[in-house]
Structure 1
Amino acid sequence: MSERNTKLTADQACAIVLALFDGAMRDGKPERFVIQNCELSANGDYWVIRCNSEDYVVHGMTEFCYVGVNAHLINVFTGEREMVVSCITVEEYLQDKYDLEAAAGKQYVLTPALDRADKPALINLRQKLQCTYPQTLALLTGQQRLWLTGTRMLLKNTQRLLGEQSITTQIELLPDAGEAVVIGVETWHIEAVLKAVRKRLC
């Protein structure tokens, strides 16, 4: 392991997390917390630490398992702590952070990658969106071509779903997303994605 990745040791990182639970009580009695596991993130920039009650971790008493937190992240360079909730993986959380840093203030926008001369592609898009031909053409130009915006990871999943419907798109990094529709985790299925794109129709 390189010197850069050991600025903050695992023990130091674990101590930061355990300090959060000093004085914890359950049913009027002191509650002791212990570390479940501690490992470096794939990029070596965070200690990924999972912590829970001693009764659960050591004694296997599932009724005393605390839920809601996936892991605590401790920056190996600064010691700053972040918390990852249970509804997202550590890998997804970190990828969103890296993508945000890479954007450097710009925004990720999903735009069409269709050729206006490709009649079958235009017909397919019109049918999928249940719109008119002029509306379809309008979605390929100007501000209306800025379809959706959100995290790069969400847009990549959206791009995959549209691709399965033979609708080709690209993800651009732009200074301004214009009136692109902001999407969230609700766009995990194609109907939700198409509904979001329809909002860009005239």
Structure 2
Amino acid sequence: MITEEQARQIVLTTAEHIPLAIYGCELSPRGDYWVIEANSEAWVLHGEFSDMLVGVSAYLVHTVTGRLSLVGSAQHWPDCVEDLHDLEVADGRHYLLVPGCDADDKQAAMHLHRQLACSLLDIGYLLSPAGRNWLTGTRRALAAAQAVLQERGIATDIVLMPEADAAILVEVQDTSWGHVSLLVRRRASGRQGRRNL
């Protein structure tokens, strides 16, 4: 296991031109990542605002491999650790958001038609094997999109598949009803022979 001191050294050696100072270090709840908060020495030790580094809020050091991952300044490290755990589970596969019904469920198809305001042909495509892979992204982003759709009575499932096919990428910050419904409607536009008006 990578010790705290080894993790600190991994982070301190990442900066090429600016010496870093560490101001926080803790283990993730599962004990698989060292979470290290660091910035320029000038900022941490002397409060020189003009020398503060932006773009990274924390460094994650895997306790077994020593692999380093960066947490962006607009991100929270627990979310990034969750995403890394989900990537390990995925093992090279893609998370996909798919409908929780098929084309034979006429009641669900009509509900989807009303909620998304797209044609019945588009709905048929979205429920067909060719169009079922609606969205892709992190499991966390898909869970947020799934919750938004569920609020409108649209059942979906999150699955792991070897290929994402034509699924559309969704980000966590873009999971409002307006954006998610737009992405699903955009996925319907992949239907062969569809006329764009």
Code of the residue aligned with 1:170 in structure 2: it is D
- Trace 1:34-49 onto structure 2 (pairs within 5 A): 34-49=21-36
Distance 2:10 2:126 in 1: 51
What secondary structure does 1:39 align onto?
Answer: strand
Give the number of aligned pairs. Answer: 188
**CA RMSD across the alignment:** 2.3
Is 102-111 or 51-60 further displaced after alignment?
Answer: 51-60
For each residue in 1:147-174, what CA deviation from the matched residue of structure 2 results, as whole angstroms up to 9, or x when unmatched? 1122211111110111111111001112
Q: TM-score, normalised by structure 1?
A: 0.81
Deviation at 1:23, TM superposition (A): 5.6
CA contact (8 A) 1:139 1:145 kept: yes
- Corresponding residue for residue 53 of structure 1: 40
* Bigger-Rg structure (1/2): 1
**Corresponding position: 1:151 with 2:138:** yes
Deviation at 1:21, TM superposition (A): 4.1
Distance 1:89 1:33 in 2: 20
For each residue in 1:39-64, what CA deviation from the matched residue of structure 2 results, as whole angstroms up to 9, or x when unmatched? 11122122111112344334445444
Code of the residue aligned with 2:117 in structure 1: it is Q
- Trace 1:80-91 onto structure 2 (pairs within 5 A): 80-91=67-78
CA contact (8 A) 1:186 1:192 kept: no
Is 122-131 or 38-47 further displaced after alignment?
Answer: 122-131
Cα 1:169–1:85 shift into 2, 3 Å: same
Code of the residue aligned with 2:145 in structure 1: it is T
**Corresponding position: 1:109 with 2:103:** no
Q: After TM superposition, which residue ranges in structure 1, 4 or more long, deviate above 6 angstroms?
A: none
1:33 to 20, 23, 27: 20
- Corresponding residue for residue 3 of structure 2: 9
- Corresponding residue for residue 137 of structure 1: 124
CA contact (8 A) 2:140 2:172 kept: no
Q: TM-score, normalised by structure 2?
A: 0.82
